[in-house]
Chains A and B, each alone.
Chain A
């Protein structure tokens, strides 16, 4: 079933066009890799879906809803930056998500926080990059959302944290929800992706099923990336 539909989606900043008449359809139950070099529009696309940036033109719907308070109930967004308030501790963060998101599973989150080796009284400001990354992913993936938007979830994480984060993403993947992962670390995520979208200059340069692309092009995703962006 169709989960996200973008028709002629455009985002302009003065003279710069970041998303250029983008056409995109995402289906339920899949993990999508959103790939592209810096400035290709990955983060802008995720921010637009999350409702942090408004499109300059075109149409964008999540589960049939225009972007707004209702679509935000269905979308779980993990930004690349540290968005959790520094005054909070881990326990506050769990309560915050519980208070605001109806689909937040506190029990699951508590379990995951413990799995990740986090302590409840640890302040966000005192967490290392790796621990903060683990907390962010535990919170975002403990929502029973329809669509998960993960912007560079592995950035700045050590190999052990990366492994834990990937494990959690896989555990969270459901039949009626989808995950979009924007990243540069293709080799690390290649094995968990169902579909891949290559963005170039705000447009889709190539998209398709990962296995099919590998078979047809006889290339790994990383090699395919180099082929698509060779001139970038």
Chain B
């Protein structure tokens, strides 16, 4: 299972390196202009544009990690590996989660170094020290974003797997799969709305302070999507 993650990253190390370089370049440009109190230039905009494009490319690439084996010839190798459907999906999902965590950690680390640098060169800009409560809030926000992102990715994985399992022999299997995706999305949306009402939240979904029950809900949704997709990959696949 870990080998699968290894090859996912071996394949993309140049892409990640490009992302790190673009991010650092944009960061250096923005911080140096901030310190000199200059306006951002076209270069800043271009660097930010590249970063946005790389971010979007990563999302599409993460979707492609299930699309490629199911819809292209690569599946004839990956899906004959001695792994069951759950191990296979687990490796793919774990890689996505680790990448999300690594990106968040990298961004936070660079932002922290920026703050230290700004405090050093601009002593007048002394910032209030960060409290543990703020750190915890921040970690919760990251966890919540990761949970929601994993739900989104797993919903797409489930839809793609449906197209190559239960609906594989249907003439309009892909269309039916898309409708199924919308239905799952709608059902999940409705379920979360109900949950918010039950828990007494407003219309904006979960609050930043997340109760244990909310974490449980996220875990259950991820678990259901994971188990369903893993089962289809393991037992119903039709390449």
Contacts and interface: CB of A to CB of B under 8 A. Distances in A.
Interface stretch (A67-75, A105-113, A171-179, A207-215): A67-75
Interface in B96-145: none
Contacts of B83: 69, 72
Among B3, B11, B77, B235, the most chain A Cβ lie within 10 Å of the Cβ of B77
Interface in A36-70: 47, 50-54, 68-70
Contact of B73 (A69, A81, A92): A81
Contact of A92 (B10, B84, B171, B238): B10
B80 A99 contact: no
B87 A69 contact: yes
Contacts of B76: 52, 77, 79, 81, 83
Contacts of A156: none
17 contacts: A12-B169, A52-B80, A53-B237, A53-B239, A54-B235, A68-B234, A69-B82, A69-B83, A70-B82, A72-B80, A72-B81, A73-B82, A85-B11, A99-B6, A100-B3, A100-B81, A101-B81
B174 interface: no
Given A69-B82, A83-B73, 18 more contacts: A13-B169, A14-B171, A50-B80, A51-B80, A52-B76, A52-B80, A52-B237, A52-B239, A54-B236, A72-B83, A81-B73, A82-B73, A85-B11, A85-B77, A87-B11, A92-B10, A100-B81, A101-B81
Nearest to A96: B7
Interface residues of A, number: 29
Contact of B237 (A12, A54, A69, A83): A54
Contacts of B7: 96, 99
A92 B167 CA distance: 34
Chain B interface size, as a band, is: 20 to 34
A158 B76 CA distance: 24
A206 interface: no
Interface in B148-196: 165, 168-171
Contacts of B74: 83, 85
A170 interface: no
B75 interface: yes
Given A53-B239, A70-B82, A83 B170 contact: no
